[in-house]
Chains A and B, each alone.
Chain A
Amino acid sequence: MSKPKLTRRNFLIKTTTTACEVGLLGAGLAFYANQSKAVPPYVIRPPGALLEDDFLGACIRCGLCVRDCPYDTLRLAELGESVAIGTPYFIARNIPCEMCEDIPCVKVCPTGALDHSLTDINKSRMGLAALIDQETCLNFLGLRCDICYRVCPLLDEAITLDTIHNKRSGKHTMFLPVVHSDNCTGCGKCEYACVLDVSAIKIFPSQLVKGQIGKHYRLGWIEQEKAGGSLLEGIMDLPDRLPEGGL
């Protein structure tokens, strides 16, 4: 075996070449890694999962959460799916999270990609339900379906029914499901249960759904309640302008 002489020139050329080749490979891998942080909105991570940006650096893809889920809700992404391979997720419309009180999926996670500080399943935030299509929701059509409201594990907390006059019939009340983000865990039971062919209520990652009020913004009535009275003294109460003819 005759090897080319190892001169300084040869050494530098070889090292640079290899560095460039591997660098190119690395660039490809880095782009792919960044791409894989983009997850389809119907993909819901298990309870306690870190935000997607941190999740891919923390989840070791062992599948122990999948194994300890008593309801076969979770699965590991396979090659070819648009979810980072080997990471756990569920699709609420197929099998929702049953919200076990002892949260076995979180307990068994060896890395804390599912955050072990989550001990109360009602505090988990897997996503956020959004009644995204009011045109097909039966309750919005004036019917009494109510199923999303009924199946919600946090009945009357995460989803409430707000009443409003049914203008179409002129004499009925409509019961509109309203999701409350401070209680919704994103378990997906509402999306699973929706009787429509395509669910009107869906779970999404909460950053896709939630708006945010400007940080400087204060809601007067809340500030008033906090302070136990008006913050400004001596405000004149002007007469309210009522519709013509009065009430």
Chain B
Amino acid sequence: MKWFKTHKFLLLRRITQLSILGLFMLGPWFGLWIIKGNLTASLILDTLPLTDPYVLLQSLVAGHIPEIIGLVGAGIIILFYLLVGGRVYCSWVCPINIVTDAAAYLRTKLAIKTRTKFSRSLRYWILGMTIIVSWLTATIAWELVNPVSMLYRGLVFGMGLAYAMVIAIFLFDLLISQRGWCSHLCPVGAFYSLLSKFSWLKIDASKRKQCDDCMDCFNICPEPQVIKPALKQFENQSLILSPNCTNCGRCIDICEKDVFNFSIRSHVGK
């Protein structure tokens, strides 16, 4: 029972990730077309469009104006993530998250302590770079190499050598850089972080007075730098406002003192 309490959100996230993937697989496996397409764009029940706004942005700077339905799809996605937190995409939907979480878990278990460090702002540089390259080459540049859509499209449509890319990322996170991909390099996450800046659902260190400095949350968090301001620094502000927080809920799971909970932004002044 204790295991369930400390893994509640992890379990929910895995269920969500796999259910969404399952919905996509119902079509090719059983001919049940509830949702068609993949993460870059899809159509639910042949009516509701969804489009990845980051891919669409690259297409726009490449000089292509999409059909209205593509724009509507991107609007729906943007609104949704403004509500639940941009990087909810990372921790609750993205398939690479399962891969890098596994790498991070194994890294801790095997006590691998390699020290290749990247700046956490590097992803924003890469995000900017992909936009510029899309503009210069008139292509959707990041989609040529994006492991996220590669894996998803691979599962739904056919893998090719995309396995190699997934294995490479797993090994990179396991052996070279701790949480290297998702927390330092991936421009998809960086894009969704931009939405997180304005999003509504946040994690709140509401009972921070109960914190006994056990460091469990810092150790489990994929973006530990986001916790400190809410937990320790600010007097009147206990929300984790950093856009890099993925709302994965592991801190809520792990904290023995129940310091954290999901909350909404509106009740704070700023």
Q: Per-residue 0/1 for A140-157: is the Cβ within 8 Å of any B Cβ (1 yes, 0 no)?
A: 000000000000000000
A39 to chain B, nearest CB (A): 13
The segment out of B107-115, B121-129, B245-253, B257-265 that lies at the interface is B121-129
Q: Is the CB of B158 within 8 A of A33?
A: no
The answer to whether A29 and B64 have CB atoms under 8 Å apart is: no
A23 to B126, CA, bound (A): 9
Which of B10-18, B54-62, B173-181, B203-211 is the contact stretch? B54-62
A30-B59 in contact given A60-B51, A62-B41, A76-B153 (Cβ < 8 Å): no
- The answer to whether B38 touches A54 (Cβ under 8 A) is no
Contact of A57 among B42, B59, B119, B126 (CB under 8 A): B59
Give the chain A neighbours of B51 by CB distance below 8 A: 60, 110
Contact at A75–B158, with CB atoms within 8 Å?
yes
Q: Is A164 an interface residue (CB 8 A)?
A: no
**Chain A residues within 8 Å of B33, by CB:** 67
- Are B125 and A22 in contact (CB-based, < 8 A)? yes
Report A62-82 residues with CB < 8 Å from chain B CB: 62-64, 66-68, 75-81
Instruction: Give the chain A neighbours of B144 by CB distance below 8 A.
Output: 29, 32-33, 36, 84-85
Interface size of B in residues (CB-CB distance below 8 Å): 58
Chain B residues 92 to 127 lying within 8 A of chain A, measured CB to CB, are 119, 121-122, 125-126
Residues from chain B with a CB closer than 8 A to the CB of A61 are 38, 40, 55, 140, 143, 149, 153
A residues with CB within 8 A of B: 14, 18-19, 22-23, 25-26, 29-30, 32-34, 36-37, 53-54, 56-64, 66-68, 75-81, 84-86, 108-113, 116
B contact set with A: CB distance below 8 Å: 27, 33, 36-38, 40-43, 49, 51-52, 55-56, 59, 62-67, 69-70, 73, 119, 121-122, 125-126, 128-130, 132-134, 136-145, 149-150, 153-154, 156-162, 164-165
Enumerate 15 A-B pairs (CB-CB under 8 Å) in ascending A order. A18-B121, A26-B132, A29-B130, A29-B141, A34-B139, A56-B62, A61-B153, A62-B42, A63-B36, A67-B36, A67-B37, A77-B160, A78-B157, A110-B70, A111-B70
